[in-house]
Structure formats: C-alpha cells, structure tokens
Structure 1
C-alpha cells in the first residue's frame, strides 16, 4: 500500500464509507490515527487509535439512530500528504435533524491515514444535534 498516492488512499476511503464498508474504511486508518472532532458537543475533542475512532463512530451512529451519513461534495484537493475533501453530512434523531457542509482533512503517510481533522459549516448547529459535552452539562 506504500506505493499509492494520498489521493488514491482518500478516494478508496470515501468510496468505502459511501458503501457502508466500515471494515475497509477502518483498515485504511493507521493503528495510531489521531482524529480531531470539532465543536463543543459530547463527541468533540481528540480521539486516538483505531479503537478510539471506532468507539466514536459507533456512538455517533447510536445517537443518530443509524442515520448519520456523509457524501463527498466536490473535488478532493491535494497538498503533499494532505487531502482536503468537501463533504456533506446529515443525520436525524428524535425530532432533531442536521444537514450541512464541511471539510475533512486527511493526513496520509505510507498509504495509511494518520490524522483526520474535521471542519463543519455550522458548528453551533452540529453541537445542538449531537448534544452537550460532559463539561457543559
């Protein structure tokens, strides 16, 4: 996998995500991946390692009652080992909905995603959807 470009890796990652192929998607993460979740909600902060990211994504699917989804919204942009991807993400739970644009910034080294930074178009609305952090309760 070391002979693939960052764009190849990002493309395969988002293709797997779009198909709901979680094992393939998770397999593209470095064992020590660092995931930076934005905002001031229960999921915000830094999540480390494949297990930590897996717990995060599982909890997000639980809170969103299995509806959370993400699609690529435009061309992927490459700068060295980083790939910026315009995305749209949405979900619903109870009587709350979320649907907004964002940017996922992947750092890719030797064919593995070593860091993921997420940016949301409306952080306040995302915070409301996911619910308050433990610190703000």
Structure 2
C-alpha cells in the first residue's frame, strides 16, 4: 500500500472512530483546505486550526449529526488520493445527504491539501446558509 493511501485511510478511520485529534494530526502544519460552494464555510482555509474550526462549526450547526463516510475504496495516483464518500446531517427541519468526492494530496506522510466536491452544491449551500 502506498504511503499516501495509508495516510488517507488512517485519516478517515480516525474520523469514523471519533478520534478527531488523531485525524487532525495527519494534516500538514500548512494544510490548504478548499471548501466548495457559496456558503458560510466556503473558501480556502489554511492550517489544522482552521480545518478544526470549520469541522467543529459544522458539527455544532447540525447538533452533532454531521457525518462524512467513505462509500468505496480510496484511489491513489502518486501523492493524490480520491475518496468517494457521503456526507449528511440535519439542522432543524433541513437535512443534507449527498455523495461527494474528496481529493487529498499527501506530502511527507501528511495531508498537505484537500479539495472537496459536492454532487449538489446548490443544496449544500442552502443547507449551510451564509
């Protein structure tokens, strides 16, 4: 198994098991996180602290119901790894449940850059709001 694939699989395993600090420890100190869309979380965020803040706010907004879960095997090409996944959550009477793909770039055994893709960006924007 490639080093990049191992890093990404460990990252998602940690998230699935609720070991968020261990997952965040796999992010490079200068990680660049590209959150898609036109909502309050959209944009480019730098550093593990910024990523932790976004994920924490998403968890808070959904009263802890926000879940990101791989739906198939990760695929690797050198230091680039894609992961098919689903993300879901509820807040009030609204719900979000859709497939997506994360593209993670691994350098020196840590996740250096993340691009997230939504299958329905308009629905995601409506869910998160501004």
Partner deviation per Cα, 1:48-99 (whole Å, 9 max, x = no partner) = 0011111111111111111100111011111110000000010000110000
Q: Give 5+ residue unaligned stretches, structure 2.
A: none
Distance 1:52 1:105 in 2: 18
Find 2:57's aligned residue among 59, 75, 78: 59
What value does the CA root-mean-square deviation take over the aligned residues? Answer: 0.8
- Structure 1: gaps spanning 5 or more residues: 133-137
Q: Distance in 1 between matches of 2:49 and 2:15?
A: 17
Q: Which residue among 28, 31, 40 is the counterpart of 1:30?
A: 28
Q: 4+ residue stretches of structure 1 with deviation over 2 A? A: none
Kindly provide the CA deviation profile for residues 8-47 of structure 1, in whole angstroms up to 9, marking residues without a partner as x.
0011000001111101100000011000000000000001
Which residue number in structure 2 is paired with residue 74 of structure 1?
72
Could you say which residue in structure 2 is the equivalent of 1:21? 19
**TM-score relative to the length of structure 2:** 0.97
Q: 2:47 aligns with which of 33, 46, 49?
A: 49
TM-score by length of 1: 0.92
Q: Which residue of 1 aligns with 2:98?
A: 100
Question: 2:64, 2:70 → 1: CA distance?
Answer: 19
CA separation in 1, counterparts of 2:86 and 2:48?
23
SS in 2 for 1:20: coil
